[in-house]
């Protein structure tokens, strides 16, 4: 019988929690898609602004800066919790995962409440005019992502507390942190456009 050359891979680990995992890449590409969507929305906002003489249109209030900025700081801090949980997941440290995810959820939840309080003070909605449509598109899309990921994080927390924290779940915690970093990072330009935009490129009253 002819000798056949073989490459034995039985010594390789059966899973990996890092940027070598296919799931990490898949998640990265999903963030490309979302990032492109928000970029196009930002471009459309400025395109529309260029076509208008008065921005925001007469009657729409200028945004407040205070609460949204506090909210922004909280969102950025919540990424620390994500990072903590993700590093703990790599070490299979159940308590670290639980505390990290809790910190993430608490800070992100507080930031969300501030955001919702703030949008209740608007004197326009998406039906008012083009400007209102954009502001609510930014807030709506981002908040949709935001809440979706919070729910997923909550599920992970429940699994970590009461269920089995196996390799697949730990990869889930790690990838969840990638999603959360994206949601935090993309919020920074959106925050600038939504809350500073009228002050920077608008017509002062």
| For helices 22-50 and 130-162, angle between their N-to-C axes, nearest 10 degrees | 160
- In degrees and rounded to multiples of 5, residue 83 shows phi and psi of -60, -45
Question: Does residue 159 belong to the site contacting another protein (CB under 8 A)?
Answer: yes
Please report how close the Cβ of residue 24 comes to another protein at its closest, in angstroms: 9
- Closest to another protein by CB, 107 vs 156, is 156
Q: Which is nearer to another protein, 35 or 99 (CB)?
A: 35
Alpha carbon distance 74, 95 (integer Å)? 23
Segment contacting another protein (CB under 8 A): 72-80, 88-96, 108-116, 131-139? 131-139
CB count in 10 Å sphere of residue 87: 17
Q: List the one residue from 83, 99, 122, 126 that touches another protein (CB under 8 A).
A: 126
DSSP annotation of 61 reads: P
Q: Does 98 bind another protein (CB under 8 A)?
A: no
Nearer to another protein, 9 or 95 (CB): 9
* Residue 205 CB contacts under 8 Å (≥ 6 apart), including other chains: 62
Q: Considering the rule CB under 8 A, would residue 32 count as an interface residue with another protein?
A: yes
Nearest to 107 by CA among 150, 159, 162: 150
Q: From CA 45, how far away is CA 84, in angstroms rounded?
A: 36
Residues of this chain that bind another protein (CB under 8 A): 1-2, 4-16, 20-23, 25-26, 29-30, 32-34, 36-37, 40-41, 44, 47-48, 51-52, 57, 126-134, 136-137, 144, 148, 151-152, 155, 159, 163-164, 166-169, 172
């Amino acid at each position: 019988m002819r000798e056949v050359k073989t490459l034995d891979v039985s010594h390789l680990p059966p899973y990996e929690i890092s940027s070598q995992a296919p799931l990490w890449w898949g998640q990265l590409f999903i963030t490309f898609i979302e990032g492109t969507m928000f970029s196009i929305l930002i471009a459309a906002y400025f395109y529309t602004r260029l076509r208008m003489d008065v921005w925001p249109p007469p009657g729409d209030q200028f945004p407040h800066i205070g609460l949204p900025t506090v909210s922004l700081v909280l969102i950025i801090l919540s990424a620390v919790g994500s990072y903590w949980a993700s590093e703990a997941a790599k070490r299979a440290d159940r308590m670290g995962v639980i505390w990290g995810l809790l910190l993430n959820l608490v800070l992100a939840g507080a930031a969300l409440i501030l955001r919702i309080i703030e949008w209740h003070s608007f004197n326009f909605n998406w039906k008012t005019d083009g400007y209102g449509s954009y502001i609510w598109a930014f807030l709506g899309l981002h908040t949709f992502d935001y809440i979706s990921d919070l729910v997923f994080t909550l599920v992970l927390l429940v699994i970590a507390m009461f269920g089995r924290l196996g390799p697949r779940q730990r990869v889930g915690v790690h990838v969840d942190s990638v999603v959360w970093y994206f949601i935090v990072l993309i919020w920074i330009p959106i925050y600038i456009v939504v809350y500073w935009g009228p002050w920077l490129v608008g017509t002062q009253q």
